[in-house]
Amino acid sequence: MAKTDPEHTAQRIAALEAALAEREARIQSLESRTSGTEAHRAVIYGFAQLAESRDDDTGEHLQRIRGLVSAIANEMVRQGHSHPNEPDPLTADQVDLMAETSQLHDIGKVSTPDAILLKPGRLTDDEWVQMRRHTMVGFDILNAMRQQWPEQDFLDVACRIALCHHENWDGGGYPLGLSGVAIPLCARIVSVADVYDALTHRRAYKEAMRHEDAVRIIVSESGRKFDPLVVQAFSAISEHFRDGGVTPLRLSA
Ligand SMILES: [Fe+2]
Ligand SMILES: [Fe+2]
């Protein structure tokens, strides 16, 4: 029978206690990160619903955008394609953050008058100027939050999406007229998702378009309105989007 060495036993107890303390610390850190994630999910959801409730009281557009962004971004990661001078290449870790935050893209529409937002018909030039302001207003709201909580990554992503989701790959968009990879990648992905969803669903001012016609329009705008690599990923999986049944769960499989 092995002889019990008191010094050796004390060392083993100390090592066990250290391992337990380390495990406890890891659990606590995980718990606080999880509750932080839940908290920012709740903020995103509430804010996004607020902006969206005026022209889509079901909030389904936001759910679909989240699903579309998640699917397109995952496909981009899977394809592993990236522009040679991409300043912020996509990683798997960023996909969820981007998809979640994409729901805030139109938060600035809180400032757009109903008479413009819900107008059944073409907007005048002056109304377009007001409509386009939602990008800057959204950025200002989220940027004010970011200054208060600079450690919150999702606010950084949200600012980029709100400001740049109407920029065009060829520089013809708004509000800044950015082009190519100068437009944040998250905003380039949201742009494709947002246009596809807007085309395929009814709004106060237009009827819904068929899936294949919407896909054709998006493909035809590759390199003009949209980033060709985002369109490539979108096209590869576009059949999943038919019939509007896109949800993150359905597409993550
Ligand atoms: Fe928008
Ligand atoms: Fe939208």
| pLDDT tens for each residue of 38-92 | 777 888 888 888 877 777 655 688 889 999 999 999 999 999 989 999 998 898 8
Range with the poorest average pLDDT among 110-119, 123-132, 155-164, 228-237? 110-119
Task: Determine the average pLDDT of the residues in 95-107.
Answer: 93
* Cα of 165 from ligand 1 centre, angstroms: 6
Residue 27: other Cβ atoms inside 10 A: 10
DSSP assignment of the chain: -PPP-HHHHHHHHHHHHHHHHHHHHHHHHHHHHHHHHHHHHHHHHHHHHHHHTTT-TT-HHHHHHHHHHHHHHHHHHHHT---TT-SS---HHHHHHHHHHGGGTTGGGGGS-HHHHT-SSPPPHHHHHHHHTHHHHHHHHHHHHHHH-TT-HHHHHHHHHHHHTT--TTS--SSS---GGGS-HHHHHHHHHHHHHHHTS-BTTBPPPPHHHHHHHHHHTBTTTB-HHHHHHHHHHGGGGGGG---HHHHH-
* Cα of 60 from ligand 2 centre, angstroms: 11
Which is more confident, 123 or 206? 123
CA distance 88 to 9: 52
pLDDT of residue 24: 75
- Tokens 């896109």 locate to 246
* Cα of 164 from ligand 2 centre, angstroms: 12
Question: Backbone phi, then psi, for 100, in 5-degree steps?
Answer: -60, -45
* Cα of 201 from ligand 1 centre, angstroms: 15
pLDDT of residue 89: 86
pLDDT of residue 250: 36
Q: Name the CATH topology of 6-252.
A: Hypothetical protein af1432 (1.10.3210)
pTM of the model: 0.82
Q: Which ligand is nearest to the CA of 59?
A: 2
Tell me if 146 sits within 8 A of 159, measured CB to CB: yes
Q: Which ligand is nearest to the CA of 52?
A: 2
Q: How confident is the model at residue 232 (pLDDT cuts 50, 70, 90)?
A: very high
β-bridge mates for residue 132, sequence order: none
* Cα of 169 from ligand 2 centre, angstroms: 18
CA distance 84 to 42: 36
Tell me if 135 sits within 8 A of 162, measured CB to CB: yes
Q: Which ligand is nearest to the CA of 198?
A: 2
Task: Determine the average pLDDT of the residues in 12-19.
Answer: 82
- Tokens 């389904």 locate to 60
Tell me if 71 sits within 8 A of 99, measured CB to CB: no
- Tokens 């600035």 locate to 108
Range with the poorest average pLDDT among 129-138, 143-152, 215-224? 143-152
Tell me if 228 sits within 8 A of 47, measured CB to CB: no
Classify 183 in phi/psi space as left (phi over 0), alpha (psi -120 to 50) or beta. Answer: beta
Computed over every residue of the chain, the mean pLDDT equals: 86
| Statement: residue 107 has pLDDT above 90 | yes
Q: Answer whether the bond into residue 175 is a cis peptide, omega within 30°.
A: yes
| Statement: residue 27 has pLDDT above 90 | no
